Structure 1
């Protein structure tokens, strides 16, 4: 009985995380597109500024470039880990647990890295509303991904 309840909780968290990772990837793609459109263009007679960085984002602060890139990586790996999670939820046995758990832990560790950069970006300030949304999604995902990992591991003791 408790195993079936954990399966439903894991499925709910899986769907929630998948939706949030897709939204995180969409906002991160938007931010990357803005950065590429407004990037510094070097002509024949122009020289690089003294503190030029290839990760330049005109819409945020100094941490925005790293935050957006690591959030995009975390979103792609997180969405891919949700696919192994769907396979595990559908079969719900110990044979599929290893792949689901390892990919979920990898996605969670990348999400924690992006969350650390989000906290740094919050501390520096000066960012727009979409970046704030991206920060919030990253911080929430770091918690819900942990709960998903705990749900699939808690059920494995009873399988």
Structure 2
């Protein structure tokens, strides 16, 4: 009986995390596009500017490039882990639980890494509203992904 209640909680967190990871990927894609369009221009002699950085972002601050890069990686791995979670919810057996749990744990670890860069970006300041939204989603995702892991793991123990 408790396993069925945890299945409902896990499915609700699965949908919530999917939506949030999709939004993070959308905002991250926008940031990458803007960085490519408005980044450094390399001259005709193919000489790099004096302070060239491969992860330069014209919006935000010095931590923005690291934050966006790791948030995109966490978003892609998060979506992949949620696909494994959908498979686990369909079968809801002890055989599918380890795969879903391990994929969710890897996504959570990468989300924590991106959240750390989000905190650094918040500490430095000077960022726009889209980056603030992405930071907030990564911080919230670090908690909801942990609850999702707990729901899957708690149900497999029964």
Tell me the TM-score range normalised by the shorter chain: over 0.9
**For 1:14-72, what per-residue CA distance to the aligned partner results, in whole angstroms no more than 9, with x for missing partners?**
11001100010000000000000001111125743332211100011000001001000
Question: For the residues of structure 2 that align with 1:16 and 1:109, how far apart are their CA atoms?
Answer: 18
Structure 1's 153 and 2: CA in aligned 2 closer, same or farther, altered over 3 A? same
Total equivalences in the alignment: 158
Q: Give CA-to-partner distance per residue, 1:91-114, whole Å, 9 cap, x none.
A: 001100111001000000000000
Q: Superposed, which structure 2 residues align to 1:45-84 within 5 Å? A: 47-84=47-84
Cα distance in structure 2, aligned partners of 1:36 and 1:20: 24
Give the conservation status (yes or no) of the 8 Å contact 2:42–2:49: no
**Can you give the 5+ residue segments of structure 2 that lack an aligned partner in the other structure?**
none
- Tell me the secondary structure at the aligned position of residue 53 of structure 2: coil
RMSD in angstroms over aligned alpha carbons?
1.0
Q: Which TM-score applies when normalising by structure 2?
A: 0.97
Partner Cα separation in structure 2 for residue 109 and residue 83 of structure 1: 17
Query: Is 1:26 matched up with 2:26?
Result: yes
Take 2:63 and 2:136, find their aligned partners in 1: how far apart are those partners? 15
Q: 5+ residue gaps in structure 1?
A: none
Cα distance, 1:93–1:39 mapped onto 2, change above 3 Å: same
Query: How high is the TM-score relative to the length of structure 1?
Result: 0.96
- What secondary structure is seen at the aligned counterpart in 2 of 1:94? coil
Instruction: State the secondary structure of the residue aligned to 2:52.
Output: coil
Is residue 102 from structure 1 mapped to residue 102 from structure 2 by the alignment? yes
